[in-house]
Amino acid sequence: MSQDPNCIFCKIVDGKIPARKVFEDEQMLAFHDIAPWAPVHILIIPKQHIASMAETGPEHAGLLGHMMTVGVRLMAELGVTNGFRTIVNTGADGGQEVGHLHLHFMGGPRPWARG
């Protein structure tokens, strides 16, 4: 599986940096965000290093669908019952801060209303 030795998310996948994991399988990893914007805020990343959503193609359709459906299930398992927000920042102009594809799933009472 392709990894970038300088990527913080690849280091999390490799176990070199700890994370509060909520799910892991052979394709992806889900963990709590270290700077949450909501009562429940998880990140879902592919284990393969893919720099951003702009780097995906038809060969990634199964992976992307898997990441989305597992995210929905995890939000329910984490007690989010009244809706949630899913965000994928892509590239510098899209607000992406880490150069590894990641999906934000945020839920809880009005998680996007920052105080």
Query: What is the residue type of 59?
Result: E
- Please state, in angstroms and rounded to a whole number, the distance separating the CA atoms of residues 95 and 81: 27
Catalytic-role residue among 41, 49, 100, 102: 102
Burial of residue 17, with CB atoms counted within 10 A of its CB: 0-12 exposed, 13-18 middle, 19 or more buried: exposed
Residue 102 designated active-site:
yes
CB atoms within 10 A of CB 57: 7
Catalytic residues: 102
